A and B are shown apart, each in its own frame.
Chain A
Amino acid sequence: MSDTVVGANPDPHVSGDEPNRRDFIHIAAGAAAVGAVAGLAWPFIDQMNPAADTLALASIEFDLSKVVEGQQVVVKWRGKPLFVRYRTAKEIAEAVKDDHADLRDPEPDEVRHKPGKPQYLILVGVCTHLGCVPNFGLGDYGGWLCPCHGSVYDTSGRIRKGPAPKNLAVPDYSFLSDTKIKVG
């Protein structure tokens, strides 16, 4: 663009060595544009994250006396199924027996229930593989079988076979009374 020098004064923009004011303006303008786009992009990305009302989902209370021995009740908690299972003595014994078996996600049974309440197993009923709801009473370990990709959980909800990487999650919960729990 400035191949030909017109007039006596040399074009100040062709001196390649020293950065001049125009270079500065180019860089500053470019940086401002990139910053502005990045700053604007975040709100457009973050709007897809959970909204305030979604985050404000209340915790739930559940009366355990509704569940009889050997039964499983499924309740909805934060849009997901929550398994409330009253385990039989046989199931608890099997779970404890396998504490030292070859587990993919090693956890003893006693940390998966509240102290003194081994019969109540509270689990998030979401397969840790791809999120399907496992069915109780199927599979080789007396626990749950995920219908989607065949993950098998034992009577403590621990992963024993199939593609899932982790045990069924135990949510944060506490006993409000002997038969009442608060989840979340």
Chain B
Amino acid sequence: MSAHSTYEPKTGFERWMDMRLPIIRMTHDTVLTFPTPKNLNYWWTFGGILALCLAMQIVTGIILAMHYVPHVDFAFNSVERIMRDVNYGWLVRYTHASGASMFFLAVYIHIFRNLYYGSYKAPREVLWILGCVIYLLMIITAFMGYVLPWGQMSFHGAVVITNLLGAIPLIGPAITTWLWGGFAVDDPTLNRFFSLHYLLPFVIAGVVALHIWALHVPGNNNPTGVNVTSKDDTVPFHPYYTVKDGFAIVVFLILFGFFVFWYPEALMSPDNFVQANPLVTPQHIVPEWYLLPFYAILRSIPNKLGGVIAMFSAIAVLFVLPWLDTSKVRSMRYRPSVRPYYFILIGVCLVLGWCGAQEPAQQVIPHFTTFTVIDYDLNTVVWLSRVMALYYFAYFLVITPMMGLRETPLPLPESISEPVLSHPARGPAVTAAATQKG
């Protein structure tokens, strides 16, 4: 779909520029005239929303860095100073902190849209892998950012996550010490996390540029999953999708504003309002909501290395998904037998998230003891996490490869235009096409 450029320089300056650095042409071709499938629904607006999230995090982050002090003795107080004394500091910090949650909310919707419509399949594997890289970088960046306020959860979260690497045989402890710059999470750790937290968003922006480049080679997937066959299947990005994305962004910002202005602390842990104390771990230590499913998977394995491997595998499996899926049909619209498994996966991820926020030995159904299997009672969060983690991996490693071979998909439309035109609500002109499909 990398069509020939339709840009024609209009002014003398544009002609002059076009001969030297054709950046106006590039912008014109990628933002204005880019041919986009005409049937994209609102699930496709999250790419634009995510670009906005990244921009907002970078802008608010640069401002926060002007007032923040990366030192164990001053970090906590400097954040409180931002909240109380810096002009509009509360607004910038709440936007940045809530922004992280909104960013992950949008990225999860973006990923699950991808899974439903099979956007990761050929020829978009590289596009998908770049997306996975962005997601991984987002996790690392968010984790380091969460350490900076130097509250109790910041500190002990950093201890737990850096210790994960200590599970690597032989070199693990050396890597942990290297990462800490000492024998425990301390001032050197805070300093380097600040440095990297500032750097990584720009790395993400770079990968986003590659992601968009990789998107613009094959072009967008669409809800039918069938390829664009003619010019009739597409519309120019502007004004059609600038307006649609714009509307979605406004709705998204209303939700964003709801958190920033009414419930800015809803997504924060009360323990993080207590300054870090290396001698006392909070009674109940949990990561931010967007990492809870992985935390539940980590805790479900009663072995340090095993738990760490399972947790990293949960992300690693996404990278190879294009080669695990044996189905040529992209959209689940035409794969009714796979759809239930997909919706179960969403439920499983939500339940894993719930499990991650509970204590391991807590009962799922209160006041109900069954019998102990291996180490815990069957009616505990640990066992629920195990069953859910098993489904998570089974979905990617068993169900996805198997169903592609065994299912009978519904007949695919000839083109993107066909199901749009043959929609029952659209006049008689296309009833022929509809009956033909039967």
Per-residue B-contact encoding for A62-105, CB less than 8 Å = 1, 0 else: 00000000000010101111000000000000000000000000
Contact B183 A79 (CB under 8 A): yes
Q: Is the beta-carbon distance between B159 and A130 smaller than 8 angstroms?
A: yes
- Is A161 touching B192 in the complex (CB atoms < 8 A)? no
For chain B, which range describes its interface: under 10, 10 to 19, 20 to 34, or 35 or more residues? 35 or more
Question: Is A137 interfacial (CB-CB < 8 Å)?
Answer: no
Residues of A130-167 contacting chain B, CB below 8 A:
130-135, 146-150, 161-165
Determine the distance from Cα of A51 to Cα of B186 in the docked complex, in whole angstroms.
Answer: 12
Q: Is the CB of A163 within 8 A of B184?
A: no
Check if A48 sits within 8 Å of B179, measured CB to CB. Answer: yes
| Residue A49 is within 8 A (CB to CB) of chain B in the complex | yes
A57 to B183, CA, bound (A): 10
Q: Does B63 contact A (CB under 8 A)?
A: no
Is the pair B281, A147 in contact by a Cβ cutoff of 8 Å?
Answer: yes
- Residue A15 lies at the interface, judged by CB distance under 8 Å to chain B: no
Contact residue among B181, B301, B359 (Cβ-Cβ distance under 8 Å from A150): B359
Q: Report Cα–Cα, A162/B306, bound state, in Å.
A: 13
Inter-chain CA distance A64–B336, complex, in Å, is 71
A45 to B283, CA, bound (A): 36
Q: Enumerate the 5 nearest inter-chain pairs by beta-carbon distance, A residue then B residue, closest first.
A: A79-B184, A131-B163, A130-B163, A133-B281, A150-B360
Q: Which residue of B lies closest to A139 (CB)?
A: B361
Whether B361 pairs with A163 at a CB distance below 8 angstroms is no
A128 to B304, CA, bound (A): 9
Does B428 lie at the interface of the complex (its beta carbon under 8 Å from any beta carbon of A)? no
Chain A contact patch, size range: 20 to 34
User: B282 interface residue, CB < 8 Å from A?
Assistant: yes
Are B182 and A132 in contact (CB-based, < 8 A)?
no
Taking CB atoms, residues of chain A closer than 8 Å to B361 are 150
Contact A80 B285, CB 8 Å, known A49-B178, A133-B280, A148-B156: no
A149 touches which of B188, B282, B299 (Cβ 8 Å): B299
A161-B375 in contact given A49-B177, A81-B279, A132-B156 (Cβ < 8 Å): yes
Q: Which residues of A contact B156 (CB under 8 A)?
A: 132-133, 148
A133 to B360, alpha carbons, bound, how many Å?
17
B:368-382 near A, CB below 8 Å: 375, 382
Could you list 30 examples of A-B contacts with CB < 8 Å?
A48-B179, A49-B181, A51-B181, A54-B181, A54-B182, A74-B279, A79-B182, A79-B183, A79-B184, A79-B186, A81-B278, A125-B279, A129-B163, A129-B304, A130-B164, A131-B163, A132-B156, A133-B278, A133-B280, A133-B281, A135-B283, A147-B281, A148-B160, A148-B285, A149-B299, A150-B360, A161-B375, A162-B360, A163-B302, A165-B303
Interface residues of B in 145-188 (CB under 8 A from A): 156, 159-164, 166, 177-186, 188
Q: How far apart are the CA atoms of A126 and B30 in the complex, in Å? A: 53
* Residues in B whose Cβ lies below 8 Å from that of A131: 159-160, 162-163, 166
